[in-house]
Amino acid sequence: MWLAAAAMVLIAIAGWLWVRSRPAGKTVAVVVLDLRDRAAVRGENPPEINQPPLEVPRNTRSLNLELPIGSSEGAYDVALLNQSGAELFRTSAPAQLEDHVVVLRASVYLASVSPGSYFLGVRQSGMQWTRFPVRVP
C-alpha cells in the first residue's frame, strides 16, 4: 500500500514538473523580414531614421531575412543590438540567392531578451553592422 502511494506521489510531482517546464506561449516557427526596401543604418552611432520598426516576437526560432538589393551571397553575422550597439544575441548563417532575392535563414533564441526597441544587425565578415530598427513585443 505504501509503495503504491509513493508511486502516485512521484507521478504527480513528475507531471507537475513537466507542465511547468513547457513553454507558456505558442512558438513562432519562422518570421520573415523583408529588408529590401528598408533604409539601412551603418556605423557605431546610427542617426535617427523615420521608418517603423520591424516586429520580432521573443518566441521566434528562425528568421528569414530578405536582404537589401545589392547584397551578395555568402556568410553573414546576424545580431540583436541594443541602443548603444552592444550585442544581446549573435549567430552566423549563409545567405543564398532564391528567386532573384538574397535570403538569409538564421536560427535565433530571443526568449531572454526583454521587450523593447533594438536594432537587427546584419554584416558580412570584416564589415560594419548594417542596422535595422526592430521591436521585441
Sign of CA dihedral 112, 62, 85, 76: positive
Portion of the chain with pLDDT greater than 70, in percent: 82
Query: For position 25, what pLDDT does the model report?
Result: 55
Instruction: Assign 3-class secondary structure to 12-69.
Output: HHHHHHHHHHCCCCCCECCEEEECCCCCCEECCCCCCCCCCCEECCCCECEEEEECCC
The count of structural domains within the chain is: 1
Measured distance CA(133)–CA(135) in Å, rounded: 7
pLDDT in tens, 56-80: 998 899 999 999 988 999 999 999 9
Q: Which domain holds residue 131?
A: 27-136
The overall pTM is greater than 0.85: no
Contact (CB, 8 A) for 110 and 55: no
Question: Does residue 22 fall inside a structural domain?
Answer: no
Contact (CB, 8 A) for 36 and 69: yes
What is the domain-level CATH number for residue 36?
Answer: 2.60.40
Of 14-28, 31-45, 81-95, where does the model show the most confidence? 81-95
Question: Does residue 106 fall inside a structural domain?
Answer: yes
Measured distance CA(38)–CA(30) in Å, rounded: 20
Confidence of residue 124 (pLDDT cuts 50, 70, 90): very high
